[in-house]
Amino acid sequence: MPVNKVVNNCDEAVADIPDGATIMIGGFGSFGGLPINLIVALANQGARNLTLIANMGGVGFELSHRIKPGGYQDLGILFENGQVAKFIGSVPALGGMPPTSPLERLHNEGKIEIEMVPQGTLAERIRCGAGGLGGFYTPVGAGTVIEKGKEKKVIDGKEYILELPLYADFALIKAHHADTLGNLVYKGTARCFNPVMAGAARITIVEVDKLVEPGQLDPEVVVTPHVYVDRIVEVPG
């Protein structure tokens, strides 16, 4: 019998995330493809000393009104709550857009650690984690502060640096449709980072717009197969 992966709500889905966990959060920009309801549930749950891995560090509710009428919550709520010790990502802030984001403000105050990772490198490090690979050599960042503390190698006369894989205890991701087995279909920018993160975490939790029965999804449009999914929450709209 298939394991039941559907949980009643977002609060239940994130209830067991402990202090000190490493969490990947999908999505490309500030709200496109972002598992907003799972993020808010994690903020309410209160786990602290977290390491977050995401493409963007969010803008926070105050600044979000300049991007979308009415505003929205994003990763900023976790920084505002003081739940995060370290951020690993490629866009920690929307530089030059006052007021500063919660992550930017905390970093300026010396209260949070940031590991900057070029966007393509971030995706590939996560992919290596998902694929069980030991890392990869890339010329991106060679000769810059990005190379600090990393192994370097010259290949065909060009400098490369070794980037190591990224893993997580949990991944919070967003999909458009899912069946109850956990096969996922994405929409728009949700294709960025969500699929690759699904395979790089010990437990993958998915927020979906619509849940259907097995056999109702066209297999040709399924991007993430059910084997990578552990929990599913339907949040219509």
Which domains are seen in the chain, by residue range?
10-136+167-234 (3.40.1080.10)
Q: pTM for this one?
A: 0.94
The answer to whether the CB of 51 falls within 8 A of the CB of 80 is: no
Question: What pLDDT shows up at residue 60?
Answer: 80
Quote the pLDDT of residue 183: 97
Q: Are residues 228 and 198 in contact, defined by beta-carbon separation less than 8 angstroms?
A: yes
SS3 62: helix
- For tokens 């899912």, what's the residue? 178
Structure tokens at 180: 């109850």
User: H or E stretch including 175?
Assistant: strand 168-179
How many Cα atoms within 13 Å fall on the side-chain side of residue 55?
A: 22
Beta strand 113-116 with 152-155: parallel, antiparallel or unpaired? unpaired
**What separation in angstroms does the CA of 214 have from each of 55, 159, 218?**
31, 49, 10
What is the number of alpha carbons within 13 Å of residue 225 lying toward its C-beta?
3
Please report the DSSP string for 176-193 in residue order. EEEETT--EE--GGGGSS
Integer Cα distance of 22 and 87 in angstroms: 10
Q: Are strands 152-155 and 158-163 parallel, antiparallel or unpaired?
A: antiparallel
Sequential pLDDT tens for the chain (237 residues): 467 899 999 999 999 999 999 999 999 876 778 999 999 999 999 999 999 999 998 888 777 777 788 888 889 999 999 999 999 999 876 655 556 788 888 988 999 999 999 999 999 999 999 999 999 999 999 999 899 999 999 999 999 999 999 999 999 999 999 999 999 999 988 999 999 999 999 999 999 999 999 999 999 999 999 999 999 999 986
Q: What are phi and psi of 182, to 5 degrees?
A: 110, 10
Tokens 């402990």 locate to 18
- The whole-number pLDDT of residue 63 equals 77
- What token pair was written down for 156? 């065909």
Residue pair 28/189 in contact (Cβ under 8 Å)? The answer is yes
Q: How far is CA 28 from CA 14, 95, 168, 171, 203, in A?
A: 21, 17, 18, 14, 21
Q: What is the pLDDT of residue 201?
A: 98
Q: H or E element: which one contains 42? A: helix 36-45
